[in-house]
A and B are shown apart, each in its own frame.
Chain A
């Protein structure tokens, strides 16, 4: 999860400073009321403050100093929770400030119509509206999001992606989208504006990183309900303790009725303040971690959905295999030697600048030492590949007499077969077998043929192989352990696809995939109740991206793709999906683990406060003071202080998220239960005792 330019240390001094100030600003009731758990603490702090003033005036229910101490620590509890949230927000804010610089108003050359030579006027970038045309030349900033409709340019997108290498943007195809705030480095492009001011990608990005429009996610709402229910229960437990205590004093004939200060302290200790205080920080930090991974989520809901994903649709090329196929074997036709085939294949590929073509030249050299030959010296002419013929090759002039000239052709098996049979020759069965073998093994067969005045004959087949990325098999095994199914999507035929799927270790594949089939597959998986994630970049991916539960659009992709998905990957890395899933899971795990921790803390707090509160009435209850806390007052104060300090202590965990190793649910649950459930049970016993000892040492109790 290493960000590039965007990462900064967890406790950046600047962020800490502004967060400290913000934690006071957040004391406004309007902010506090949004968090039901902390709002009750807020009210409790006010109540004890009033009790303190009352005590100062001589009508105190307890010593003024004690009430003050409790009151102060309750205020600290509120402030610490504010601080956690401010820390989480602070990181986003710092980043938003950088982004804002890129959004600064720039002049734009607006055209009256979509021609380069149309009349132009200089306007401010904020005056541009959807559908306007602008021309941007080298050295200028692109004023707003849009689509290149004419020209090619290299563009510096580092302001958004953090990646300093320039990228190519051109009209047509899948690399036509440009983002406002990026800079054209060379050439000039004609752009149709696709967003009104305030709705651009940069605007959305700023609001996401700032968390300004952050809405609670479904899981967060459900957890909040549970925490609110617990809070209400504890409120009632503490409120009814007052009559219980009055009755007890009446019956025992000694002791004093529990004070409101102690009841408030007990309530705050019991209420799930640890998780309540950190909950929004955890949510913001989850988004922030995604941003550190250079992914912009358009909603918090998408991040949560990422944790729930059951099925990943992965494009074969770039994700599972290296982008390029490589020649790995020559399979000659009967009567042709392998060296002859290699020689012919090399000749046919000399001018072929595609990666496949180059790999043939390399293979010929490796296997038979056939050296690079100069095309012009041979006097050869090049036959370019076309989609119609699906054949490329070279014309070689004959010897000195003009006789013996021949053409070497290379192409798809069916095209070569047609060529050979049309010339009247027999297409050997052995070559057909080679072609089928290669396809079955997941390779792509290419045939090489020779055409002379006598006719055409096939020389043999070249085995082009998809190279599966190193380590990808282990990654898929890991995903399987996490309960996530992988489906490879490819345009290859089913035979090839099956072989690559087996080699890469994916669970399933979709071969000869067209966009509509992709969409149908997603719908089918969703109908089974599963959640689907996919990445895409082309306009024809847009419907599938919109349908998927988590649709990650590549930043290099088209505007349509970026709008259809609910996340944008600034790195445009096809393997990013797996990282996103982990971040989503980690977010939920952090919430669950801290909830468990928070609730199991309460057991120890009871052992601190219950004997302290009632020992005056029933001295026998002193036995329950298992921690041996010095005095009732020091016990109550220690519990309150522990309760406040634990929030601060857990801020790093809330921001960083709990450790996540891919494993099955049963193992993760066991591990987290031991750490956060068991830990939550024990830590407060130790913590409260230590604080009590410190209070005694400082003569505060």
Chain B
């Protein structure tokens, strides 16, 4: 790896960690309901929203009320988005005349955006109207991210408050997160993207006359062939090219910041209209993680001990850097068979490393960095095709998702997932020091371990059961592009992505089939809400407890030792669950690539 590559990574980490601190402090003010500066401008809007919706901002909810509001709001969003997808043909803002989305895909897509997964079994530019993109997908990019922040806020309040049932008001948390955090950041970022050349227009696709007409054949459809097997491909000539565009910058901004990842175009951030320059590429990679990293400091601020936030951020950063290093090493090392064909890794080779499926504009380092960041967070956008990574390079994003998306993770949900792991660590560690375990003064008891176990188990179930189903059915296996162990990796990756609400894909899998759409939708639903609701139950249980004062007998949760233990538990739980499956996928692929 050249010096420039290393510099990119270092600059990335410095900026990420440097921005996280001020952003975290700012977000703490927003979530604590304190003046944050922007409220002087947007305060009237906030109050107007409450008045219009009939929300009484002072009225707080217990965990059940909070969970109910959260769930109903999201389910309502699901219904509206589903309707929008089905009816888009009849609705305005459809310059390219997109037809209604078929029911299976509409269900999958609606579920995908409601759950912050943003798994895309479709190509945006050939499926979605502008209205759907803006009112459906972009809106959900905001509110699904805000939902994550709101749930996190409730959990933090559960840890901070004592002997109360109240966790805050979901509507207020949702509104304030959107209005004061996501919206201003997105506006700034969208402007920067537009400046760099990302389109922002409501005009339909641009038509360009080809200077050289291209001859091609139109193959008859499968249905027509069934009716008349004698049909032959018809020759045709193309003289015009349709260049799709639309309100891209506005969607792109929140797609990155809200760890959503659903691209405007099928090629996602590998498409030059989504990600035109090295600068946008760098900024977009940064935007993936910055809010999630900042929330660690928000947590530290809200619990009144910045060290508690630092330790979580440190654990995430260590795991991230280790996985990033593996991915960089694997991608820069490349495939030995390919190297033999192109003349080895030597100085004479203009492109050392694995370039398959990567944008030449970005190169190996920026692609590996993006792949690691997007799967560490529950973003799922791509600027390269993960399916074409080397086995170990592809294992990195897969495992990062399987760890439960807690390495920075999705906005809000990454940190609440990590807090659940911290509670498990405190439980085992607390026993080891001879005391009923307590985290930030809250005793961890049977109900809390039960909820924590559910949060950890549900995504694992989604991955393993989903994959098992896919490899047992004919329709499941039919979707695989590659035979052998790599086919297994493709399926495993798809369900790891959906169950953990990531949304990225090993591009090889043709996942737009009724069964994948339905099963994927269900896996995304459970992966999101069967973790969110137990987290809120946990928050409710913690809020009701007394707070135990810290003493020398208390397990300290701000030390490097605790950080190490947290890392170990996150990795061991992931490893113990997925080693057999990984052995049959990327691990054996790697060993076979090396010629064992």
Residues on A facing B (Cβ under 8 Å): 218-219, 221-223, 225-226, 228-229, 232-234, 236-241, 243-248, 251-252, 266, 270, 304, 307-308, 310, 480-485, 528-530, 584-589, 591-593, 595-596, 599-600, 602-603, 606, 610, 613-614, 618-624, 660, 664-666, 668-670, 672-673, 676-677
In the assembled complex, B554 has its CB within 8 A of some CB on chain A: yes
Which of A239, A244, A246, A304 has the most chain B CB atoms inside 10 A of its CB?
A: A244
A480 / chain B contacts, CB cutoff of 8 Å: 552
Which of A243, A245, A310, A619 has the most chain B CB atoms inside 10 A of its CB?
A: A243
Count of A-B contacts with CB under 8 A?
Answer: 209
Minimum CB distance partner of A482 in chain B: B553
Classify the interface of chain A: helix, strand, loop or mixed: helix
> A218-B445, A600-B572, A668-B432 are known contacts. Are A620 and B592 too (CB-CB below 8 A)?
yes
Q: How many interface residues does B have (CB within 8 Å)?
A: 64
A239–B435 Cα gap in the complex (Å)?
A: 36
Stretch at the interface among B89-97, B291-299, B331-339, B583-591: B583-591
> A247-B477, A251-B487, A592-B429 are known contacts. Are A618 and B588 too (CB-CB below 8 A)?
yes
Contact yes or no, A665 B572, CB < 8 A = no
A240 / chain B contacts, CB cutoff of 8 Å: 464-465, 467-468, 581
Contact yes or no, B572 A251, CB < 8 A = no
A218 / chain B contacts, CB cutoff of 8 Å: 436, 445-446
Minimum CB distance partner of B573 in chain A: A233
> A225-B453, A252-B484 are known contacts. Are A588 and B441 too (CB-CB below 8 A)?
no
Minimum CB distance partner of B547 in chain A: A529
Contact yes or no, B432 A593, CB < 8 A = yes
Contact yes or no, A592 B596, CB < 8 A = no
Given contacts A596-B432, A621-B583, list 13 more A-B pairs with CB under 8 A.
Answer: A225-B453, A239-B468, A241-B580, A243-B472, A247-B488, A481-B552, A588-B434, A603-B572, A618-B592, A620-B596, A623-B596, A665-B554, A670-B561
Q: What distance in Å separates the Cβ of A682 from its nearest Cβ neighbour in chain B?
A: 15
A592 / chain B contacts, CB cutoff of 8 Å: 428-434
A304 / chain B contacts, CB cutoff of 8 Å: 436
Minimum CB distance partner of A595 in chain B: B428
Contact yes or no, B591 A623, CB < 8 A = yes
Interchain residue pairs with CB less than 8 A apart (8): A238-B580, A308-B435, A528-B549, A530-B548, A587-B434, A622-B596, A665-B552, A669-B429
Q: What distance in Å separates the Cβ of A577 from its nearest Cβ neighbour in chain B?
A: 15
In the assembled complex, B546 has its CB within 8 A of some CB on chain A: yes
Of the residues A234, A246, A485, contact of B576 by C-beta under 8 Å: A234
Contact yes or no, B468 A599, CB < 8 A = no
In the assembled complex, B65 has its CB within 8 A of some CB on chain A: no
Chain B 472-515, CB-CB to A under 8 Å as 1, else 0, gives: 10000100000111011000000000000000000000000000
In the assembled complex, B551 has its CB within 8 A of some CB on chain A: yes
B457 / chain A contacts, CB cutoff of 8 Å: 229, 232-233
In the assembled complex, B194 has its CB within 8 A of some CB on chain A: no
A585–B436 Cα gap in the complex (Å)?
A: 9
In the assembled complex, B577 has its CB within 8 A of some CB on chain A: yes
Chain B 419-447, CB-CB to A under 8 Å as 1, else 0, gives: 00000100111111111100001001110
> A586-B434, A669-B432 are known contacts. Are A664 and B591 too (CB-CB below 8 A)?
no
A672–B584 Cα gap in the complex (Å)?
A: 35
In the assembled complex, B395 has its CB within 8 A of some CB on chain A: no
B448 / chain A contacts, CB cutoff of 8 Å: 222
Contact yes or no, A244 B596, CB < 8 A = no
Q: What distance in Å separates the Cβ of B448 from its nearest Cβ neighbour in chain A?
A: 8
B23 / chain A contacts, CB cutoff of 8 Å: none
B561 / chain A contacts, CB cutoff of 8 Å: 666, 669-670, 673
In the assembled complex, B559 has its CB within 8 A of some CB on chain A: yes
Q: What distance in Å separates the Cβ of A26 from its nearest Cβ neighbour in chain B?
A: 25
Of the residues A221, A225, A614, A669, contact of B584 by C-beta under 8 Å: A614
In the assembled complex, B556 has its CB within 8 A of some CB on chain A: yes
A622–B552 Cα gap in the complex (Å)?
A: 49
B575 / chain A contacts, CB cutoff of 8 Å: 603
A613 / chain B contacts, CB cutoff of 8 Å: 580
Q: What distance in Å separates the Cβ of B477 from its nearest Cβ neighbour in chain A?
A: 7
> A234-B576, A592-B430 are known contacts. Are A251 and B588 too (CB-CB below 8 A)?
no
Contact yes or no, A243 B471, CB < 8 A = yes
Q: What distance in Å separates the Cβ of A573 from its nearest Cβ neighbour in chain B?
A: 22
A660–B428 Cα gap in the complex (Å)?
A: 17
Of the residues B435, B456, B568, contact of A665 by C-beta under 8 Å: B435
Contact yes or no, B583 A222, CB < 8 A = no
A666–B555 Cα gap in the complex (Å)?
A: 6
Contact yes or no, B579 A308, CB < 8 A = no
In the assembled complex, B283 has its CB within 8 A of some CB on chain A: no
> A225-B450, A530-B548 are known contacts. Are A248 and B584 too (CB-CB below 8 A)?
yes
Contact yes or no, A251 B556, CB < 8 A = no
B554 / chain A contacts, CB cutoff of 8 Å: 483, 665
Chain B 522-546, CB-CB to A under 8 Å as 1, else 0, gives: 0000000000000000000000001
A593–B431 Cα gap in the complex (Å)?
A: 8
In the assembled complex, B565 has its CB within 8 A of some CB on chain A: yes
Contact yes or no, B553 A664, CB < 8 A = yes
> A222-B449, A225-B453, A226-B424 are known contacts. Are A672 and B576 too (CB-CB below 8 A)?
no
